[in-house]
Structure 1
């Protein structure tokens, strides 16, 4: 067994990039991070599946529905950057586990809530968990993914729609069990069960990111993590032989300013555009598919839920195809194309919603979800996770995620109000402005991390590393 001497973050990144697969303990950590994202999607969509019955059960007005459905996203606006700051300061794993505990508390409070106000409290905790978890989990995934597999970060989008579809299937099962208007309580409660499972698994099996440890200067701890993860013999180089850590960001929340400077500025603008745009269009349309299905297919709960489930199956297809699409076309071009198609679909729905034949009324939302999930839906978080170096990555994810949460909150808040005041057709036309603007920006800014010759963690490292990295780890994957 070879002994790998680690001189700094560059050597850690080089070894990870040399891996032919994401397997072993690294694979377990990778999928557990995705499992946390499954929980985030599951918790967020738990209300969506039973929203119709919840509205009747608690006798909610349109304004109350708008506030309730958007609350988690408003809370996530604050907790996205807080979670990112925690992860860049103290490590990836502790706040990830904390997020699962918050999700468990939120699910329990909402499921047992006697009044509308208690549900709001529960959704506050869900929003906090969502805000903390997503910023960190995507950063962790980026740091465990070899460079040639960068587009695999988009797998989270398929996981998202799988979680949403699971919620819909459970809603049908609960309906058939005869729980009546309490369907939403069962859906929210089931999120708590999954939160407990993920809490136990992540606390037991996750290992701290060696890339983050090395970038922070904790090379001995990074070496220990590498041994645990890859079951190889790693040794930290003597202090005098270590590569210098150049331009290390060490100023806590002040690090956020760095992502709006120099070469990072256009990356931030692009990632934020995709994140905000996809959030508004998904949470104003995709999240409300069960309600849209009621308008399309009638008031029968089973029929409408099955219709929504079929729509989300297109999301699963698009989400799990997005890594292939991203690899072939790049994240930026895939986002631009997705926004362009979504714009056209929303215009058609807006102009002809009341007169569309049933088959077209079914096809258009399906294509909306397919092109959203295959393009911008996945790429916003992947772009921000891949565009910044390790000690900035989670903070950047937090800030850009917070901007995305603003978009999500606006979408969730605006849709039910516009729908009630104007109807679905005009609402779709108003919302079509969002993907059009995002399409234009994605077409103008040319940055794409999957097309970059060198990763952000290596951009500022010592030049001698770039010269000898291939020699040092040429056999690391053998």
Structure 2
């Protein structure tokens, strides 16, 4: 049986890019990584569907609701870069599996918590798991995806809304079972079941990223991973025949500075803008859709939850369409269009929500979610993941993800406070500023990784990039 010889990262990337699809063990790894993102969405939205009953159950004030709902995102701000650093230093798989353990612990604490304070402890662990997992999972997905399929990374957005919708369906089921004001406990407990299942599956079937190993100079490990993943024989070239590693980033947290220099700076600004903008608009509006539904459709729990479910079905549609939209328009342009459309929807809600006929009361929030999920909702993390080379990828995702988590935390924090003090209409109008500003930035910065001539892992060997990167990295070769 002939053996593929691996000399360096170019051979790994070239082999993966030549694959006709993402199948076999690679496909299983790809979907298990997406399963982790399902868990992140499921855990984050577990309180959303039952927030009304939970507020009554624990007799929470508006301030307590704001703190509780935003805590996981504040924690994720810290753990996003920590997770990225761990993954770039030690590999993708160990921190991914550890994140599932943290999610399981967070679900257990929250589900059985007798007090508000212990629910906060549970949400702390959920935030840590979310922060670690998201940056790494997206990096891993990119490293198993052939170049012509890169827009498929946006599939995570459809998975997110599937998780949110599953929570809403479970909430209706638990309500009909007579769970009453304890619905939220069942929701967060269900997240623990998902976390345990994924913990076992990822432990058994995940394989380390060969792209990461090759960029770290671990060619033997990269060859071993390739053999496990693709079922063919790969071997490492003799040391003297291996490709040199150009400008390898080896200084841990100091590598973070590299994404703010040279060719990486506009990429970082673009990805961060999309991440922050989409996080604020989603977590200030989309996450609170069950509460908004109560305002729009009355105080019946099942009717309001079904209304929120309809909204999120548009999220599933937009999320699974986003790879095709991104392929047609490019991730940057699709984000600009999506932000512009979301701006219009928020204006309409802000000006007319009290007088909307029932059809438009359903349609406008549904279109908000559709335009969000089909454009910027998916693209911030995809652009971040695809814009940096392997040993910077998870770390960059961590930093940019932390900025996105800041946006999420602000959205979760300000919505209940603005709604209480100003009312729903003015709240929508204030939030409309966010997608408008993000649309402008997406229109000005022209970088798009799906339109780039070479992969970031191979830019270091491309003449047109060498001088810029070497200057940016202060001649560290």
Structure 1 and Structure 2 fold alike (TM over 0.5):
yes
- The CA deviation string for residues 72-103 of structure 1, in whole angstroms up to 9 with x for no partner, is 00000000000000000000000000000000
Question: Are the counterparts in 2 of residues 243 and 462 from structure 1 also a CA contact under 8 Å?
Answer: no
Q: CA deviation at 1:2?
A: 3.8
Change (3 A) 1:306 1:255: same
| Aligned counterparts of 1:335 and 1:5: Cα–Cα separation in 2 | 40
Q: CA deviation at 1:306?
A: 0.3
| Aligned counterparts of 2:440 and 2:400: Cα–Cα separation in 1 | 19
- The CA deviation string for residues 117-142 of structure 1, in whole angstroms up to 9 with x for no partner, is 00000000000000000000000000
- The CA deviation string for residues 296-340 of structure 1, in whole angstroms up to 9 with x for no partner, is 110000000000000000000000000000001000000000000
Give yes or no for the alignment of 1:395 onto 2:395: yes
| Aligned counterparts of 2:345 and 2:173: Cα–Cα separation in 1 | 32
Aligned partner of 1:132 in structure 2 is 132
Matches within 5 A, 1:147-226: 147-226=147-226
State the aligned residue count.
Answer: 463
Pairwise CA RMSD: 0.7
Give yes or no for the alignment of 1:43 onto 2:43: yes
Aligned partner of 2:474 in structure 1 is none
| Aligned counterparts of 2:355 and 2:235: Cα–Cα separation in 1 | 69
- The CA deviation string for residues 341-395 of structure 1, in whole angstroms up to 9 with x for no partner, is 0001101111111111121111100000000000000000000000000000000
| Aligned counterparts of 2:445 and 2:20: Cα–Cα separation in 1 | 32
Question: Are the counterparts in 2 of residues 110 and 118 from structure 1 also a CA contact under 8 Å?
Answer: yes
| Aligned counterparts of 2:2 and 2:28: Cα–Cα separation in 1 | 24
Give yes or no for the alignment of 1:67 onto 2:67: yes
Normalised to the residue count of structure 2, the TM-score between the two structures is: 0.96
Q: CA deviation at 1:8?
A: 0.2
| Aligned counterparts of 2:239 and 2:195: Cα–Cα separation in 1 | 42
| Aligned counterparts of 2:328 and 2:356: Cα–Cα separation in 1 | 35
Give yes or no for the alignment of 1:292 onto 2:292: yes
Large movers: runs of 4+ above 3 Å: none
Aligned partner of 1:427 in structure 2 is 427
Q: CA deviation at 1:32?
A: 0.1
Unaligned runs of 5+ in 1: 464-478
Question: Are the counterparts in 2 of residues 168 and 305 from structure 1 also a CA contact under 8 Å?
Answer: yes
| Aligned counterparts of 2:240 and 2:204: Cα–Cα separation in 1 | 36
| Aligned counterparts of 1:462 and 1:157: Cα–Cα separation in 2 | 32
Aligned partner of 1:441 in structure 2 is 441
Unaligned runs of 5+ in 2: 464-477
Q: CA deviation at 1:240?
A: 1.2
Q: Is the partner of 2:262 in helix, strand or coil?
A: coil
| Aligned counterparts of 2:313 and 2:221: Cα–Cα separation in 1 | 43
Aligned partner of 2:240 in structure 1 is 240
Aligned partner of 2:257 in structure 1 is 257
Matches within 5 A, 1:348-387: 348-387=348-387
Q: Is the partner of 2:461 in helix, strand or coil?
A: coil
Q: CA deviation at 1:462?
A: 7.4
Aligned partner of 1:476 in structure 2 is none
| Aligned counterparts of 1:176 and 1:379: Cα–Cα separation in 2 | 37
Aligned partner of 1:319 in structure 2 is 319
| Aligned counterparts of 1:348 and 1:167: Cα–Cα separation in 2 | 28
| Aligned counterparts of 1:58 and 1:233: Cα–Cα separation in 2 | 59
- The CA deviation string for residues 394-434 of structure 1, in whole angstroms up to 9 with x for no partner, is 00000000000000000000000000111110000000000
| Aligned counterparts of 1:304 and 1:265: Cα–Cα separation in 2 | 44
Question: Are the counterparts in 2 of residues 244 and 462 from structure 1 also a CA contact under 8 Å?
Answer: no
Aligned partner of 1:302 in structure 2 is 302
| Aligned counterparts of 1:233 and 1:179: Cα–Cα separation in 2 | 55
Q: CA deviation at 1:461?
A: 3.1
| Aligned counterparts of 1:278 and 1:256: Cα–Cα separation in 2 | 23
Question: Are the counterparts in 2 of residues 154 and 382 from structure 1 also a CA contact under 8 Å?
Answer: yes
Q: Is the partner of 1:295 in helix, strand or coil?
A: helix
Aligned partner of 2:34 in structure 1 is 34
| Aligned counterparts of 1:234 and 1:86: Cα–Cα separation in 2 | 27
Q: Is the partner of 1:334 in helix, strand or coil?
A: helix
Normalised to the residue count of structure 1, the TM-score between the two structures is: 0.96
Question: Are the counterparts in 2 of residues 43 and 188 from structure 1 also a CA contact under 8 Å?
Answer: yes
